[in-house]
């Protein structure tokens, strides 16, 4: 068991990375493919949206699509889901047998059926489609994913990935003082198990661990107009990935088509007190994305417009 | 009107180019996207197959997808058609109003219906789907496209584009001798019209033009095992674009999956006496495509494995 110098257990610090596979909106450009964000947590990849060409974006990144366990679709505009059939078929050609779970708003089951019966393709591994509704909270091993209805011109969901509470800080000096030998018992206590010392004394985790700590949180807006409810939904998130199709000069167009401007996204990030804001779904009209980044930063300093393939690590707070 | 030094009219030498947009088979790799070949004839683009990501391959080439008039699909495996919905939707977002014609084997109409009703998309311009059968010959302005049933593991067609017969060589010395003034009358004669000289004398085209000449021919095999009928179909073609998924070491696998090896494709090209052979639908396993090129060249010297975005011009013979 590794102990951080400050006594924080790092054994359960599952690595959490975000890889921006497609940061463009509406249609692809040479620089930006259409929507797809991969969240890699440990050895599992959770994909959010899957625009056309996502399988090839995987090829160009250092990720393996064979590690995808779940795909969440925000809404049923082509630039968010047309990469599904090709990705599913390629995984089959590469002998996938692990089931794949697809999640999306109402209509997901019908869409899945359509996508799995195009041409001569028929799936040979299990593909399970789930329709989820506003407020639904799905529990997985180590994290939850919660859905929020947002305000686009078709039914659309935002998603929040929240890691489960983590055990509190391991107080190594106290453990040694209580006579617990360094080794497997440390590990059991950290996992929340009560241990028995050679002396017969029972040690419960609360004797050694500090108060439990918050897991990491990532919010993905999908396509939406600025909406109040996303502020609460994103409260104190580590990462808010918000659409920002246009800059504020095009606010009217943004409103007409159900999108958000860079400064509007930054206002949301500021009110939600998130740590960092990443702007995606950039309109093909922006050859120079700095106009969006600068606009957002004037409202909320830690704002970024990621490039395709950019990776960030979401660090655990101590 | 421009006259070639040798007296050949170049006014009607419509430029004919082939742009290999996707030369890979089965699934995309970093280097090769899945199947799509663009034939640009004058200002019109005729697309053969449209694998996922084809719209982005257009973005990376110097072609405009807005110039596509017709798309021919060889068969309904995903790597040959999954780029259709995204391309169609992007043309709509870019205000296309020109109708688009889709052609394919039996099942094309149902597939088109499926592709046009995915998610919330509904087409705002006309998309006309045509099912074509073995031997069918479709006449267009200046060329025909003929279909041939080939031998894949699902129904599949090869296509041949044959330009119409061109007018014969314009005999300029003879025209001048007959007292035809250089200028618009030359042009009319070249177009096949009878003209009247200032003297009242009528000049018919056959008095000035040599025997009519063969147009250019391009054949695209689609996916197929080696098949006898493609030899006749490709007879004397300028360009044969044949699938060559594997090299001959993998001939058994090729046969099992309904594909052709490089040397088998070269044998066909040799028997058909085509001018040049281009091998596409290269399996993702070939990081070094030279093995295929060399194998083909040992049978038929003018064999090439094009890279994605490679362009060739099909020249008119004099």
DSSP of chain B, one letter per residue? --B-TTS-B-TT---EEEEEEE-B-SS--SS--SSEEEEEETTEEEEE---TTHHHHHHHTT--GGGEEEEE----SHHHHTTHHHHHHHHHHTT--S-EEEEESTTHHHHHHHHTTSTT---SS-EEEEE--TT-EEEETTEEEEEEE--SSS--EEEEEEEPPBP--B-HHHHHHTTPPSSHHHHHHHTT--EE-TTS-EE-GGGTB-S-B---EEEE--S----THHHHHTTT-SEEEEE--B-GGGHHHHHHTT--BHHHHHHHHHHHT-SEEEEE-B-TT-S-THHHHHHHHTT-SSEE-PPTT-EEE-PPP-
A47 & A189 share domain:
no
Report in angstroms the alpha-carbon separations of A89 from A157, A195, B3, B164.
Answer: 26, 49, 54, 40
| Residue pLDDT tens, chain B, 318 long | 344 444 444 445 789 999 999 999 999 999 999 999 999 999 999 999 999 999 999 999 989 999 999 999 999 999 999 999 999 999 999 999 999 999 999 999 999 999 999 999 999 999 999 999 999 999 999 999 999 999 999 999 999 999 998 878 889 999 999 889 888 999 888 888 899 988 889 999 889 998 888 899 999 999 999 999 999 999 999 999 999 999 999 999 999 999 999 999 999 999 999 999 999 999 999 988 999 999 999 999 999 999 999 999 999 876
Q: What's the gap in Å between the CA of B118 and the closest CA on chain A?
A: 7
Question: Which of A184, A207, A230 is the last residue before a domain boundary?
Answer: A207
Nearest CA in chain B to A57: B30
A221 and A243 in contact (C-beta within 8 Å)?
A: yes
A116 and A83 in contact (C-beta within 8 Å)?
A: no
Q: What is the per-residue pLDDT across A163-192, written as a single tens digit (0 to 9) for each? A: 998 878 889 999 999 889 888 999 888 888
Q: Which residues of B are catalytic?
A: 79
Question: Which of B158, B184, B207 is the last residue before a domain boundary?
Answer: B207
Structure-token pair, residue A307 = 């490039």
Q: In chain A, positions 177-196, which contact chain B (CB-CB < 8 Å)?
A: none
Residue in B59, B114, B119 nearest the CB of A77:
B119
Q: Is B308 on the interface with A (CB under 8 A)?
A: no
Q: In this structure, is residue B318 part of a structural domain? A: no
Task: List the domain range (segments joined by +) for residue A187.
Answer: 172-207
**Residues of chain A found within 8 Å of residue B95, distances taken between Cβ atoms:** none
Q: Is B61 on the interface with A (CB under 8 A)?
A: no
A64 & A182 share domain:
no
pLDDT at A10: 40
Q: In this structure, is residue B114 part of a structural domain? A: yes
Neighbour tally for B182: CB within 10 Å: 11
- From A49, A79, A238, A308, active-site residue: A79
Q: Is B30 on the interface with A (CB under 8 A)?
A: yes
Q: Is B82 on the interface with A (CB under 8 A)?
A: yes
B97 & B241 share domain:
yes
Residue in B82, B89, B93 nearest the CB of A85:
B82
Question: Which of B154, B180, B207 is the last residue before a domain boundary?
Answer: B207
Cβ <8 Å between A76 and B120 = yes
**Residues of chain A found within 8 Å of residue B52, distances taken between Cβ atoms:** 52-53, 55-56, 82-83, 85-86
A interface mutation test: which of B78, B84, B258 has the most A CBs within 10 A? B78
Cβ <8 Å between B120 and A52 = no
Cβ <8 Å between B120 and A90 = no
B101 and B71 in contact (C-beta within 8 Å)?
A: yes
A14 & A147 share domain:
yes
Coil/strand/helix, residue A80? helix
| Residue pLDDT tens, chain A, 318 long | 344 444 444 445 789 999 999 999 999 999 999 999 999 999 999 999 999 999 999 999 989 999 999 999 999 999 999 999 999 999 999 999 999 999 999 999 999 999 999 999 999 999 999 999 999 999 999 999 999 999 999 999 999 999 998 878 889 999 999 889 888 999 888 888 899 988 889 999 889 998 888 899 999 999 999 999 999 999 999 999 999 999 999 999 999 999 999 999 999 999 999 999 999 999 999 988 999 999 999 999 999 999 999 999 999 876
B44 & B162 share domain:
yes
A200 & A225 share domain:
no
Q: In this structure, is residue B261 part of a structural domain? A: yes
Total tally of structural domains belonging to chain A? 2
Q: What's the gap in Å between the CA of A32 and the closest CA on chain B?
A: 10
B120 & B224 share domain:
yes
B68 & B51 share domain:
yes
Residue in A83, A90, A118 nearest the CB of B111:
A118
Q: What's the gap in Å between the CA of B315 and the closest CA on chain A?
A: 30
A34 & A89 share domain:
yes
Question: What pTM does this model have?
Answer: 0.90
**Residues of chain B found within 8 Å of residue A76, distances taken between Cβ atoms:** 118-120
In whole angstroms, what is the distance from residue A279 CA to residue A267 CA? 12
Q: In this structure, is residue A183 part of a structural domain? A: yes
Q: What CATH number does the domain containing A39 carry?
A: 3.60.15.10
Q: In this structure, is residue A157 part of a structural domain? A: yes
Cβ <8 Å between A28 and B55 = yes
Q: Is A31 on the interface with B (CB under 8 A)?
A: no
B200 & B284 share domain:
no
A interface mutation test: which of B82, B89, B154, B156 has the most A CBs within 10 A? B82
Listed in sequence order, the residues at least 6 apart from A101 whose beta carbon sits closer than 8 Å to its beta carbon are A69, A70, A71, A127, A128, A129, A130
Q: Is A118 on the interface with B (CB under 8 A)?
A: yes
In whole angstroms, what is the distance from residue B306 CA to residue B309 CA? 8
Q: In this structure, is residue A318 part of a structural domain? A: no
**Residues of chain B found within 8 Å of residue A26, distances taken between Cβ atoms:** 90, 93
Give the ipTM of the model, two decimals please.
Answer: 0.89
B137 & B283 share domain:
yes
Q: What's the gap in Å between the CA of A111 and the closest CA on chain B?
A: 7
B79 and B51 in contact (C-beta within 8 Å)?
A: yes
A196 & A217 share domain:
no
């Amino acid at each position: 068991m590794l102990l951080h110098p400050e006594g924080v257990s790092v054994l359960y610090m599952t690595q959490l990375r975000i890889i921006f596979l497609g940061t463009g909106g509406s249609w692809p450009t040479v620089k930006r493919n259409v929507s797809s964000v991969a969240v890699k947590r440990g050895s599992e990849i959770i994909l959010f949206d899957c625009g056309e060409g996502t399988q090839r974006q995987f090829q160009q990144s250092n990720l393996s699509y064979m590690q995808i366990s779940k795909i969440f679709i925000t809404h049923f505009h082509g630039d968010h889901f047309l990469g599904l059939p090709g990705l599913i078929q390629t995984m089959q050609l590469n002998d996938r047998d692990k089931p794949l779970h697809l999640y999306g708003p109402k209509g997901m089951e019908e869409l899945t059926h359509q996508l799995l019966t195009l041409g001569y393709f028929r799936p040979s591994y299990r593909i399970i489609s789930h329709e989820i509704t506003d407020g639904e909270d799905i529990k997985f091993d180590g994290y939850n994913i919660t859905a929020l209805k947002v305000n686009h011109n078709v039914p659309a969901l935002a998603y929040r990935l929240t890691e489960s509470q983590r055990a509190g800080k391991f107080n190594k000096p106290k453990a040694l003082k209580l006579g617990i030998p360094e080794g497997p018992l440390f590990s059991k206590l950290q996992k929340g198990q009560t241990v028995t010392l050679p002396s017969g004394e029972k040690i419960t985790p609360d004797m050694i661990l500090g108060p439990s700590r918050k897991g990491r949180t990532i919010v993905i807006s999908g396509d939406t107009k600025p909406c109040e409810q996303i502020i609460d939904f994103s409260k104190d998130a580590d990462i808010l990935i918000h659409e920002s199709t246009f800059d504020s000069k095009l606010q009217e167009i943004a409103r007409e088509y159900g999108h958000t401007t860079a400064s509007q996204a930054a206002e949301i990030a500021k009110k939600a007190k998130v740590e960092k804001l990443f702007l995606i779904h950039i309109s093909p009209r922006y050859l120079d994305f700095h106009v969006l980044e600068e606009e957002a930063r004037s409202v909320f300093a830690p704002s970024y417009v990621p490039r395709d393939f950019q990776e960030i690590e979401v660090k655990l707070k101590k």
